[in-house]
């Protein structure tokens, strides 16, 4: 399978590229700067994730897309995820690319209020408000499409070692925060390229 990856130079994106290459997929990665990209096995394209011309060129011949785009902590309004996703789904629809796997986060959409007391009452509203609004708009843009999408909502990310398995749920009863290694997120995301278990659903993944 030929896979286009956005956000490929981020902490999770790099692991997604690595896992996809190991599993035999052909990977095209969009990067901001060739000079700072180190993604063995991937074909690199330099450009802006919101540029429809760049996205269209990157999608040529692809079978699926992974979006690992993210925004940092801050107080200013952000629209990167919204704008990039709208441009992406337009180009995917135009080019006939059906499968989209997108990384969102626990706390977005109907998972709000399941991040644990400190996260829900302090961290998210005080430090991540603009970023989570952007993620909510991103998810809405994906839901509005007829694409074969999976939106993955990881719990708090760690850089620790993989446990080799994850708990994936849409019934959030009893879920109040949690953690998961980026390596396990990457593996789960790559698996969704060829599996229909979570098609058009928004699983929360955690240990």
Q: What pLDDT digit, counting tens, does each position of 17-30 carry?
A: 999 999 999 999 99
Percentage of residues of the chain with pLDDT beyond 90 = 89
Residues 84-130 have pLDDT tens digits of: 999 999 999 999 999 999 999 999 999 999 999 888 887 888 778 89
pTM for the model stands at 0.95
pLDDT band at 71 (very low <50, low <70, confident <90, very high): confident
**Segments making up each domain of the chain, as ranges:** 2-206
Which CA distances in Å does 48 have to 53, 68, 176? 10, 14, 36
pLDDT exceeds cutoff 90 at 35 = no
Does domain 2-206 correspond to CATH entry 3.40.50.300?
A: no
Please say whether the beta carbons of 186 and 19 come within 8 A.
yes
């Amino acid at each position: 399978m030929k896979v286009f990856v956005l956000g490929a130079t981020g902490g999770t994106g790099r692991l997604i590229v690595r896992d996809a290459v190991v599993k035999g997929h052909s990977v095209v990665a969009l990067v901001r700067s060739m000079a700072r990209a180190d993604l063995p096995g991937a074909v690199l394209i330099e450009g802006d994730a919101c540029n429809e011309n760049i996205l269209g060129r990157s999608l040529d011949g692809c079978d699926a897309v992974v979006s690992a785009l993210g925004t940092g902590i801050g107080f200013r309004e952000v629209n990167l995820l919204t704008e990039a996703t709208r441009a992406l789904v337009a180009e995917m629809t135009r080019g006939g690319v059906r499968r989209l796997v997108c990384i969102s986060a626990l706390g977005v959409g109907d998972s709000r209020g399941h991040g644990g007391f400190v996260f829900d009452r302090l961290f998210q509203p005080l430090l991540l408000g603009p970023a989570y609004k952007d993620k909510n708009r991103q998810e809405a843009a994906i839901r509005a499409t007829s694409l074969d999408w999976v939106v993955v909502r990881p719990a708090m990310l760690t850089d620790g070692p993989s446990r080799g398995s994850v708990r994936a749920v849409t019934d959030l009863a009893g879920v109040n925060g949690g953690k998961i290694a980026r390596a396990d997120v990457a593996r789960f995301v790559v698996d969704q390229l060829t599996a229909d278990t979570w098609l058009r659903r928004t699983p929360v993944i955690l240990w």
